Amino acid sequence: MKKFKTAIIIFFLPVCVLILFIATTYDRAFTYVQAHFNKTENFVTKVVTVKDMSVILSEQTELGNTLQKEDHTYWMGDEVLSGISSIIPHHLFLTLDHPEYEKLEITFPTTTYQLNGEIIEFLSGEGTITKTYSKGEWKEYK
């Protein structure tokens, strides 16, 4: 009888671990599919200063890190953080290359996910500078 109980434990323990693994994987996959089903990509035009660019970078970094900590949204965190690398050149353009510009008008691609009733929106790619502002006037950027 003791051998029978041991055999049952040896059999059911791996089965339980396998069921737990499958359930976790299913939950991740379901979240991924659900988020991509509700995904929209658009463009937004923003007028930004050096301070605004710093705030955008900080907020996106915080959002990306928060999403990466969650097991079922780590992939979204990766996507948010990869979008940051495309924003940094505009920040450097404004701070180092052209300090004479007070503001820039930039059109950014955005990605929006709706997940469990929560809307997650972030800048997802390299923006296009359309106008520059210095000495009290806007000029088209070439």
Predicted confidence at residue 46, as pLDDT, reads 93
CA gap 122, 101 in Å, rounded: 25
Q: Mean pLDDT throughout 17-35? A: 68
Q: Which domain holds residue 101?
A: 40-140
Which positions ≥6 away from 84 have C-beta within 8 Å? Answer: 57, 60, 61, 64
Q: How sure is the predictor about 64, in pLDDT bands with cuts at 50, 70 and 90? A: very high
Domain co-membership, 1 together with 26: yes
Q: What average pLDDT does the structure give for the chain?
A: 84
Predicted confidence at residue 1, as pLDDT, reads 67
Residue, of 18 and 129, whose pLDDT is higher: 129
68-106 pLDDT, tens digit each: 998 778 888 999 998 888 888 878 887 788 888 899 999
Domain co-membership, 98 together with 29: no
Question: What predicted TM-score, i.e. pTM, was given to this entire model?
Answer: 0.73
Quote the percentage of the chain above a pLDDT of 70: 87
Q: How sure is the predictor about 25, in pLDDT bands with cuts at 50, 70 and 90? A: low
Domain co-membership, 63 together with 3: no
Domain co-membership, 76 together with 87: yes
Nearest CA-CA partner of 48 in 92, 125, 106, 6 = 106
Q: Which residues of 19-28 are buried (b: 16+ CB within 10 A; e: fewer)?
A: eeeeeeeeee
pLDDT at 112 exceeding the cut of 90:
yes
Total domains, the chain: 2
Domain co-membership, 69 together with 108: yes
Helix boundaries (H) for the chain: 2-37, 50-69, 74-92
Q: Give the tokens for residue 62.
A: 């915080």
Domain co-membership, 124 together with 104: yes
pLDDT at 117 exceeding the cut of 90:
no
Q: Taking the C-alpha atoms of 23, 25, 30 and 32 in order, what is their torsion angle to the nearest 10 degrees?
A: 160
CA gap 125, 107 in Å, rounded: 10
Domain co-membership, 61 together with 31: no
